[in-house]
């Protein structure tokens, strides 16, 4: 047990003894037969009771302290200064009101407690909301943010994917491409992995960034959020602060960002949107390459990878045939077209 654990457990034992003693003294005043000596017995009982659960209480206290510490570590110095100033102001006004309310109907402990809480909440909220006043530069945090024209924030997956280079070269992706430093560090970490597959993916991502830098304005932004551990959470916050759009092909990240009202450019959704669509009655010319799941079926593929299942097409396996589209469906694996041989 470390020094902090010993201190906390000792504090709990003392608190239990004190509470037991207070309870005994109250009972001795209420009941004539209740001896003051019993108050000491209750003090010992209270101390022993708290000793039995001191381990559990210590763990819970440590958890609370760690959460508070993580929350405070993400605060800017000006926000802490603003909070302290607001608390001091609330206490001063509370003391002044207490003096004014003396010898009145409102002169009681409950009213003073509630008044102090309300004043504390108001003053601290007001000062923290206007914390830019306490900034050493005298400028607001909004003005200090980098101003980039039409920023597009890239996530790690879309960089490694590589299709972003073709999209940027085509001119459809406008604005400034933004790569935060924490994404760059993640790419470097993947590129230094011992696993060959991961190392290859990381190096591919770095090569993609080099290609993008040669064809488009690419801004490596020195930005981070120490209070956030997850890279996806950092991407969402940065995109919101820049007022830009998030470029990604991560399904879960796209959903989370959209729920937080962040506009997302998902490359997978774009690929599905521009993929050729065929309606019932259209005629296709396709090479049937293999057998389907059902007897007599033949399977071929369009240039974009769309699977075409042809009823009765097995007889044309290895040959090019004209087929009549009957229907098409969208699955998690992509679009599928069902057809039959043209009569």
DSSP result, 103-166: TSTT-SHHHHHHHHHHHHHHHHHHHHHTGGGG-TT-S-HHHHS---SSEEEEPHHHHHH-HHHH
Instruction: Choose the weakest-confidence range: 35-39, 249-253, 326-330.
Output: 35-39
Q: What is the pLDDT of residue 298?
A: 92
Q: What is the pLDDT of residue 137?
A: 44
* 126 shares a domain with 157: no
Residue 238 domain-assigned (yes or no): yes
CATH number at residue 179: 3.40.50.1010
Q: Which residues on neighbouring strands pair with residue 220, listed in sequence order?
A: 179
Q: What is the pLDDT of residue 140?
A: 39
* 234 shares a domain with 160: yes
Q: What is the pLDDT of residue 131?
A: 67
pLDDT band at 17 (very low <50, low <70, confident <90, very high): confident
* pLDDT tens profile 95-109: 888 887 777 766 777
Domain boundary residue, one of 77, 106, 134: 134
* 173 shares a domain with 94: no
Residue scoring higher pLDDT (3 or 18): 18
Instruction: Please name the residue that has the structure tokens 């065929």.
Output: 278
* 200 shares a domain with 119: no
Residue 302 domain-assigned (yes or no): yes
The total domain count for the chain is 3
Domain boundary residue, one of 255, 272, 289: 272
Residue 218 domain-assigned (yes or no): yes
Residue 185 domain-assigned (yes or no): yes
Where do the H-state alpha helices sit in the chain? 3-30, 37-52, 54-73, 77-100, 109-129, 141-144, 156-161, 163-170, 181-191, 196-215, 231-242, 251-259, 267-274
* 290 shares a domain with 238: no
Measure the CA–CA gap between 104 and 114, rounded to whole angstroms.
16
Question: Taking CA 104 as the corner, what is the angle to CA 100 and CA 105, rounded to the nearest 5 degrees?
Answer: 130
Q: What is the pLDDT of residue 72?
A: 60
Residue 141 domain-assigned (yes or no): no
Residue 25 in tokens: 């003294």
Q: What is the pLDDT of residue 235?
A: 92
Find the domain containing 284 and state its range.
277-341
* 169 shares a domain with 264: yes
* 128 shares a domain with 165: no
* 295 shares a domain with 183: no
* pLDDT tens profile 114-167: 888 888 888 887 887 776 665 544 443 433 455 678 899 999 989 998 888 888
Segment 34-57 shows an average pLDDT of 83
Residue 143 domain-assigned (yes or no): no
pTM of the model: 0.44
Q: What is the pLDDT of residue 154?
A: 92
CATH number at residue 289: 2.40.50.140
* 301 shares a domain with 190: no
Q: What is the pLDDT of residue 300?
A: 92
Q: What is the pLDDT of residue 153?
A: 92
Residue 144 domain-assigned (yes or no): no
* 106 shares a domain with 34: yes
Residue 142 domain-assigned (yes or no): no
* 8 shares a domain with 129: yes
Mean pLDDT (the chain, rounded): 82
Q: What is the pLDDT of residue 1?
A: 57
Do the beta carbons of residue 235 and residue 180 sit within 8 Å? yes
Residue 324 in tokens: 């009549």
Domain boundary residue, one of 237, 257, 272: 272
Q: What is the pLDDT of residue 329?
A: 81
pLDDT band at 179 (very low <50, low <70, confident <90, very high): very high
CA Rg, the chain, in Å?
Answer: 34
* pLDDT tens profile 297-325: 999 988 777 889 999 888 889 889 999 99
| Of residues 116, 114, 122, the one with CA closest to residue 95 | 116
* 130 shares a domain with 157: no
Q: What is the pLDDT of residue 2?
A: 67
């Amino acid at each position: 047990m470390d020094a902090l654990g010993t201190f906390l457990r000792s504090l709990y034992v003392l608190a239990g003894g004190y509470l037991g003693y207070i309870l005994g003294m109250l009972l001795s005043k209420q009941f004539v037969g209740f001896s003051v000596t019993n108050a000491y017995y209750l003090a010992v009982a209270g101390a022993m009771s708290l000793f039995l659960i001191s381990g559990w209480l210590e763990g819970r206290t440590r958890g609370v302290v760690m959460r508070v510490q993580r929350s405070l570590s993400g605060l800017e110095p000006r926000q802490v200064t603003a909070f302290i100033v607001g608390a001091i102001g609330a206490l001063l006004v509370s003391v002044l009101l207490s003096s004014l309310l003396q010898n009145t109907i409102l002169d009681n402990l409950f009213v003073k407690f509630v008044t102090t809480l309300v004043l504390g909440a108001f003053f601290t909220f007001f000062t923290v909301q206007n914390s830019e006043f306490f900034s050493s530069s005298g400028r607001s945090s909004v003005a200090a943010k980098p101003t980039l024209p039409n920023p597009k924030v890239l996530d790690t997956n879309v960089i490694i994917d590589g299709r972003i280079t073709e999209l940027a070269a085509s001119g459809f992706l406008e604005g400034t491409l933004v790569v935060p430093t924490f994404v760059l560090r993640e790419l470097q970490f993947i590129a230094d992995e011992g696993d060959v597959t991961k190392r290859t993916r990381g190096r591919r991502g770095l090569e993609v960034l080099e290609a993008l830098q040669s064809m488009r304005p690419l801004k490596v932004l020195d930005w981070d959020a120490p209070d956030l551990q997850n890279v996806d959470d950092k991407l969402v916050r940065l995109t919101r602060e820049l007022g830009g759009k998030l470029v990604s092909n991560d399904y879960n990240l796209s959903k989370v960002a959209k729920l937080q009202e962040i506009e997302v450019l998902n490359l997978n959704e774009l690929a599905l949107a521009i993929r050729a669509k065929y309606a019932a009655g259209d005629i296709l010319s396709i090479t049937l390459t293999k057998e389907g799941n059902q007897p007599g079926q033949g399977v071929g593929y369009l240039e974009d990878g769309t699977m075409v299942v042809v009823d009765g097409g097995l007889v044309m396996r290895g040959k090019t045939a004209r087929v009549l589209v009957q229907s098409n469906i969208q699955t998690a694996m992509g679009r599928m077209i069902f057809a039959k041989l043209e009569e």
